[in-house]
Chains A and B, each alone.
Chain A
Amino acid sequence: MTDAAVSRPPRLAWRPPLETLALIAALVAGWQALHAFVGGDALPSPLAATRRLGELLAAPDFGANAAETGRAFAYALVISWAGGLGVGILLGAHRLAGDVAEPILVALYSIPKITLYPLILLLFGLGVSAKVAFGALHGIIPVVLFTMTAVRTIPAVYLKSARAMRLTPGDTALHVVLPASLPEIFTGFRIGFALTLLGTLIGEMFASQRGIGYMLIHAMQNNAPDVILALALLLVTFATAASWLLLAIDRWLRHAV
């Protein structure tokens, strides 16, 4: 962090991401070319998918489905972030507990969690709790790992200085531990966000009768490529915008601390 302290926090001047826009344009052009190659119905064109998305957005039941997904995602995200933060701080503060838990967490992170969906369904039943459980299951582990690491890696000299200055434990936590570990914790939050979204959608695909995930699986089973592409477009836009924002905050935190 030494060099970060020297360098100035970057100004948040907004530079138009021309390169990214160019890449997106190239991807859309590739999609159009593929559409021309495969033929109309099998792979709708970008324009058709966008139009379909407009229709979907205007349809009366879409709002309810989106709200349903949003609600499940919000619950799952709160559990992932708050739960991950709490567990991560505990494991980070207690070294032996952290050493015991870490390989277990990494192993859990790398198994295909979709395999566990029958178990989740049997335990939680069809409905919002299963979706939330699925989302939180995906999102919480990275938050725990990053928080634990952040707490563990606070330089000992910070804590020593805090003691030398006779800060109370509360002040130490607020003025030393939190600022020192915030950037890493936030990276965990960012990754947790993406995985929670993925988990919630997967949960909806299998464990629900409503929501964006359900619309997706419905479209897949009815072989409606235009709906799939329209929803994919919506999800990609949302995920990219959200993670772009989180990434900007992440970078700003790293420079500001």
Chain B
Amino acid sequence: MRGLGEIVHEALCRGVGRHPRSQTRPSGLGFTLLARASLRGQRRGDSRKRGGTPMTRAGWIRLALVTACVAVLEVACRLRWIDPVAVIPPSRMAQGAWMLLASGEYTHDILLTLSNVAMAFAIALVLGFAGGVALHRLPRLRRAADPLLASYYAVPTFIFYPLFIVLFGLNQWPLVAIGVLFAMVAMALSTLNGFDRVPPVLRRTARAMGLSRLQETFLVTLPACAPEIFTGAKLAVVYAFIAVIAGEFVLSGAGFGFKIAFAYNNFDNPTMYGLMLLLLLLVGVLNWALYAWERRLYERQGRA
């Protein structure tokens, strides 16, 4: 976990066309940029420490800050500065999370949500990749879709959930469809971004060496844009989670989101906060792991 300062800004400059060689225009891409931004790691601490074993000063301060926030919340709740009906102390949240894991009562819901997310992710990955390639290959389609893509994430996708229930029936597929719809576009935009950035010299070299189209794709183009594609996959995981959970909140009879809403309606604070903590931890750890992996990918290409 390092500061993203330089990284962000470099990614952003490159992404939005300040960089002399970048022709990428601002579009819906902003969303993928944000995620990518987090990547490019701070140059200064970088050469000294690889793999992030020793922490930077910023890292220690961050840890201290987060710990202090949790401690303040704990004390504030214990001393009843905060209404205990609204917020329970973090220690009790953790206890609640542990209890509901140990009881096994929620295992089914958790697994259900995870399997929906996994399916949505897999489908979004394929469709998003195909969409990105299509947008890259067909400039007219791209020009046409640009304004629509830029506003895509302003519409709450899960309002279409009831329609999907009509289309797919009352099973898990409507939720998966919501996840796909939400994650697919981020994947497509990342893929497009990756293809845009393959330096023309690589293509020319491939042609000069007489590679066939297939060889060019698999030996040159895809490896060159692997980091962006991975970024897209990372976003697709996050977005699939967001959409599936949101769908479960709105209209569902099972799953993580439903159980949180259920606990909320029953004033069951330990369960509610326990589930929230579990979910946020799960997504947080997953993100962090993907982020670390992603950074290695960019580093291998000497782009971090």
For window 13-32 of A, CB contacts with B under 8 Å fall at 17, 19-20, 22-24
**How far, in angstroms, from A43 to B25 measured CA to CA in the complex?**
36
**Contacts of B8 on A, CB cut-off 8 Å?**
102, 145, 148-149
Are B151's CB and A95's CB within 8 A? Answer: no
Are A254's CB and B280's CB within 8 A? Answer: no
**Contacts of A236 on B, CB cut-off 8 Å?**
151, 155
Are A110's CB and B260's CB within 8 A? Answer: no
Residue A251, interface by CB 8 Å: yes
For window 38-62 of B, CB contacts with A under 8 Å fall at 38, 42, 56-58, 61-62
Residue B141, interface by CB 8 Å: yes
> Given A114-B242, A146-B12, is A228 in contact with B57 using a C-beta cutoff of 8 Å?
no
Interface residues on A, range: 35 or more
Instruction: Return the contact of B20 from the options A3, A20, A95, A96 (Cβ within 8 A).
Output: A3
B208: shortest Cβ distance to chain A, in Å?
28
**Contacts of B87 on A, CB cut-off 8 Å?**
119, 122-123
Are B147's CB and A247's CB within 8 A? Answer: yes
Are B280's CB and A111's CB within 8 A? Answer: yes
Residue B104, interface by CB 8 Å: no
> Given A202-B246, A250-B26, is A239 in contact with B155 using a C-beta cutoff of 8 Å?
yes
**Contacts of B38 on A, CB cut-off 8 Å?**
102-103, 106
Q: Which of A50-58, A59-67, A161-169, A189-197 contacts B (4 or more CB under 8 A)?
A: A189-197
Residue B140, interface by CB 8 Å: yes
Instruction: Return the contact of A100 from the options B10, B61, B284 (Cβ within 8 A).
Output: B61
Q: Which residue of A lies closest to B1 (CB)?
A: A103
**How far, in angstroms, from A123 to B77 measured CA to CA in the complex?**
13
A129: shortest Cβ distance to chain B, in Å?
14
Are A107's CB and B156's CB within 8 A? Answer: no
**How far, in angstroms, from A142 to B5 measured CA to CA in the complex?**
14
Q: Which residue of B lies closest to A24 (CB)?
A: B148
Residue B27, interface by CB 8 Å: yes
**How far, in angstroms, from A101 to B1 measured CA to CA in the complex?**
11
**Contacts of A122 on B, CB cut-off 8 Å?**
83, 85-87
Q: Which residue of B lies closest to A41 (CB)?
A: B166
Instruction: Return the contact of B249 from the options A114, A152, A201 (Cβ within 8 A).
Output: A114
Residue B121, interface by CB 8 Å: no
> Given A96-B58, A118-B264, A232-B159, is A153 in contact with B13 using a C-beta cutoff of 8 Å?
yes
Residue A99, interface by CB 8 Å: yes
Residue B185, interface by CB 8 Å: no
**How far, in angstroms, from A122 to B263 measured CA to CA in the complex?**
13
**How far, in angstroms, from A132 to B38 measured CA to CA in the complex?**
27
A2: shortest Cβ distance to chain B, in Å?
6
**How far, in angstroms, from A219 to B25 measured CA to CA in the complex?**
38
Interface string of B64-103 (1 = CB under 8 A from A): 0110000000000000000101110000000000000000
Q: Which residue of A lies closest to B242 (CB)?
A: A112
Residue A242, interface by CB 8 Å: yes
Are B144's CB and A152's CB within 8 A? Answer: no
Instruction: Return the contact of B61 from the options A43, A96, A190 (Cβ within 8 A).
Output: A96
**How far, in angstroms, from A95 to B58 measured CA to CA in the complex?**
10
Q: Which residue of A lies closest to B4 (CB)?
A: A102
Are A100's CB and B156's CB within 8 A? Answer: no
Residue A84, interface by CB 8 Å: no
A203: shortest Cβ distance to chain B, in Å?
11
Residue A208, interface by CB 8 Å: no
Q: Which residue of A lies closest to B244 (CB)?
A: A112
Q: Which residue of A lies closest to B60 (CB)?
A: A100
For window 190-214 of A, CB contacts with B under 8 Å fall at 190-191, 193-195, 197-198, 201-202, 205-206
**How far, in angstroms, from A119 to B272 measured CA to CA in the complex?**
10
**How far, in angstroms, from A23 to B144 measured CA to CA in the complex?**
6
Q: A4-B17, A194-B153, A251-B25 are in contact. List 20 more A-B contacts (CB 8 A).
A: A96-B57, A100-B3, A103-B1, A103-B4, A110-B283, A112-B279, A119-B87, A149-B12, A153-B13, A197-B154, A198-B156, A216-B156, A220-B161, A220-B251, A225-B166, A228-B160, A228-B163, A239-B155, A244-B150, A254-B26
CB-defined A-B contacts under 8 Å, sample of 19: A19-B143, A42-B166, A96-B57, A100-B65, A112-B246, A114-B246, A115-B245, A116-B276, A123-B87, A142-B34, A146-B34, A150-B12, A152-B5, A187-B30, A194-B153, A198-B155, A235-B155, A235-B159, A254-B17
Q: List the interface of chain A (C-beta within 8 A of B).
A: 1-4, 17, 19-20, 22-24, 38, 42-43, 95-96, 98-104, 106-107, 109-119, 121-123, 142, 145-146, 148-150, 152-153, 183-184, 187, 190-191, 193-195, 197-198, 201-202, 205-206, 216-217, 219-221, 223, 225, 228-229, 231-232, 235-236, 239-240, 242-244, 247, 250-251, 254
